[in-house]
Amino acid sequence: MKIAVITGGSSGIGLAAAALFAEKGNTVYALSRRGGTDSGNLRHLVCDVTDEAQVQRVFGEIFARHGQIDVLVNCAGFGISGAVELTESARAKKQLDVNFFGCFHCCKAALPLMRKAGHGTIINVSSMAAVLSIPFQSFYSASKSAVNALTLALANEVRPFGITVCALMPGDVKTGFTAVREKAGDAAGIYGETLARSVATMEHDEQNGMAPQQLARAIWRLSQKKHPKPLSTCGAQYRLFAVLQKLLPAAAVNRIVGSIYAK
């Protein structure tokens, strides 16, 4: 029986992944700030991933119980929207603190335990926004781009220890993520209706996106691969976007994204 730790485990992709991993026979620890109800192989623990000391303590407790942590899935995250010049620095830092440093804290806590065991899998949930930076969602895009960079570098660092690291870049997913997005306003009307239309487009696409269970299955498949792609996505249209992003000039790609989200 494998021991899996999944952050952001109280809702959305994290909860769907935790439920699937438990269904597959793993002992699963779902970490979140508010916890949840235990069921079968699924156990919820309260853990704020932005608090490194708390992360180290929780991972230590799990390891003390089982003597192993086989899989880490970093799902914890949230989004902010707004124009760059109208975004408060504290809000931008919070975005990076949760999405990037939370991922870093959990990797840092899991790696010594995996290294001692000589094996382990880390799956970071990134976003297509990491490679297709979305206007008025710049700090979310930046946080996920940072997750990709961390993933690629870390994969090379820990490969000699038998540890696999990869990232999944979902497109639009229908979860509660949309409702809790923090929004910077535009009281001065500098960006007019462009900002409002952009956010409305994002939210419409998200609420008509993939089910979190589809992402959970993609995460499970990655966990079963010996040599997964370091960066991958889920869903035919998003795979097409990923290919086009590689083939087309950056300026062309950026204009296309702008025509969708900043018109």
Q: What is the mean pLDDT of residues 99-109?
A: 98
Separation between Cα atoms, residue 178 and residue 212, nearest integer Å: 13
Which stretch of 5-19, 112-126, 172-186 has the lowest confidence by average pLDDT? 172-186
pLDDT at 240: 83
pTM of the model: 0.93
Q: Summarize pLDDT for 62-77 with one digit per residue, the tens.
A: 999 999 999 999 999 9
Q: Summarize pLDDT for 5-31 with one digit per residue, the tens.
A: 999 999 999 999 999 999 999 999 999
Q: What is the mean pLDDT of residues 186-202?
A: 82
* CB-count burial class (<10 Å; 0-12, 13-18, 19+) for 90: exposed
- Count Cβ atoms below 10 Å from residue 5 Cβ, excluding itself: 29
What residues pair up with 45 in beta bridges, in sequence order? Answer: 31
Catalytic residue among 144, 191, 223, 261: 144
Q: What is the mean pLDDT of residues 225-251?
A: 88
Separation between Cα atoms, residue 5 and residue 113, nearest integer Å: 12
235 versus 132: the higher-pLDDT residue is 132
pLDDT at 129 over 70: yes
- Any catalytic annotation for residue 140? yes
pLDDT at 203: 84
pLDDT band per the 50, 70, 90 thresholds, residue 246: confident
Name the nearest CA neighbour of 73 among 155, 7, 166. 7
Q: Which CATH fold would you assign to the domain 3-261?
A: Rossmann fold (3.40.50)
Q: DSSP 3-state helix, strand, coil percentages of the chain (rounded to 5)? A: 55, 15, 30
Q: Which two three-digit tokens encode residue 38?
A: 């235990």
Q: Give the mean pLDDT of the chain.
A: 93
pLDDT band per the 50, 70, 90 thresholds, residue 187: low
- Any catalytic annotation for residue 238? no
Catalytic residue among 29, 140, 191, 238: 140
- Any catalytic annotation for residue 10? yes
- Any catalytic annotation for residue 225? no
Q: Using the structure block, give the residue that is written with the tokens 């990655």.
A: 222
Separation between Cα atoms, residue 137 and residue 139, nearest integer Å: 6
